[in-house]
């Protein structure tokens, strides 16, 4: 009798999960995420950028980040060189601007937030990103985490944190951590402080891990004054 009850419970649970998956339309979820972010027409924000790559010594940098909808980004800072662009100019619009196929995978708790986990596959052969997995907050419809596999740059992960007051007004992060693969042979020599003749030879296509941590403060949103060429 007890075994029979357990079987019924398991079957019922599987049916509930299956119905839940069927009732979650990934495309509609992503459209709500884009609509939520589309309220941001432009912004400027002060950022602190900390770069951590094992063969680089890069001092912590402060800069001004400018954004202009739908996906234009500019960083104003003397001597700052741009590392992997997927992290620094991240927005739902840049990730979802081309045609894609989307699939709901599961519900998951991430950093104490109930999230929908959705797979996104860009259509066509021109996109560098081959597959992305998004953790989307159910209640606020913001992206809290992204894991992507690229055609030429390995994999990257973006983890986003939001201040409570910002979540209620605009879906802009207070902190972002960007984990990525990087090819040592593609790093500008100005990053390492070495000249061409004293750099150790590196194997082509050999990737190592790196991270960028960005803290955002002093947002100025929808001023109508941002100009990016």
What CATH number does the domain containing 157 carry? 2.50.20
- Considering the domain boundaries, does residue 32 fall inside one? yes
Is beta strand 155-161 parallel, antiparallel or unpaired with respect to 175-183?
antiparallel
Which range marks the domain in which residue 173 is found? Answer: 26-221
Q: How many structural domains comprise the chain?
A: 1
Radius of gyration of the chain (CA): 21
In-domain check, residue 10: no
Q: Residue 129, Cα to own-chain centre: how many angstroms?
A: 12
CA 99 to chain centre: 18
Before 70, cis peptide (omega within 30)? Answer: yes
In a domain, 21, yes or no: no
Per-residue pLDDT at 150: 83
126 found inside a domain: yes
- For residue 168, tell me if it sits in a domain: yes
- Decide if 226 is inside a domain: no
**How confident is the prediction along the chain (229 residues), in pLDDT tens digits per residue?**
554 554 445 444 434 444 444 457 899 999 999 999 989 999 999 999 888 877 677 788 888 889 998 878 888 876 555 555 555 556 777 777 778 888 999 999 999 999 999 999 888 766 778 889 999 999 999 999 999 888 877 788 999 999 987 777 889 999 999 888 776 545 544 443 444 444 444 444 566 778 889 999 999 999 999 888 7
The answer to whether residue 3 sits within a structural domain is no
**Residue 20, in any domain of the structure:** no
pTM, rounded to two decimals: 0.76
């Amino acid at each position: 009798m007890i075994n029979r009850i357990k079987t019924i419970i398991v079957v019922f649970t599987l049916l509930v999960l299956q119905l839940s998956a069927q009732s979650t339309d990934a495309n509609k979820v992503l459209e709500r995420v884009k609509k939520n972010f589309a309220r941001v027409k432009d912004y400027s924000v002060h950022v602190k950028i900390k770069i951590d790559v094992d063969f680089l010594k890069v001092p912590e940098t402060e800069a001004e980040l400018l954004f202009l909808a739908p996906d234009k980004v500019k960083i104003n800072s003397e001597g700052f060189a741009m590392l992997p662009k997927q992290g620094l100019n991240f927005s739902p619009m840049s990730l979802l601007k081309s045609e894609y196929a989307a699939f709901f995978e599961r519900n998951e708790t991430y950093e104490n937030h109930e999230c929908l986990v959705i797979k996104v596959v860009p259509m066509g052969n021109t996109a560098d990103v081959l597959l992305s997995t998004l953790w989307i907050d159910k209640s606020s419809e913001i992206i809290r985490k992204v894991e992507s596999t690229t055609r030429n740059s390995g994999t990257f992960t973006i983890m986003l944190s939001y201040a409570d007051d910002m979540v209620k007004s605009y879906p802009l992060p207070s902190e972002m951590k960007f984990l990525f693969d990087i090819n040592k042979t593609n790093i500008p020599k100005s990053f390492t402080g070495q000249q061409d003749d004293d750099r150790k030879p590196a194997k082509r296509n050999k990737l190592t891990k790196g991270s960028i941590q960005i803290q955002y403060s002093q947002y100025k949103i929808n001023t109508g004054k941002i100009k990016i060429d």
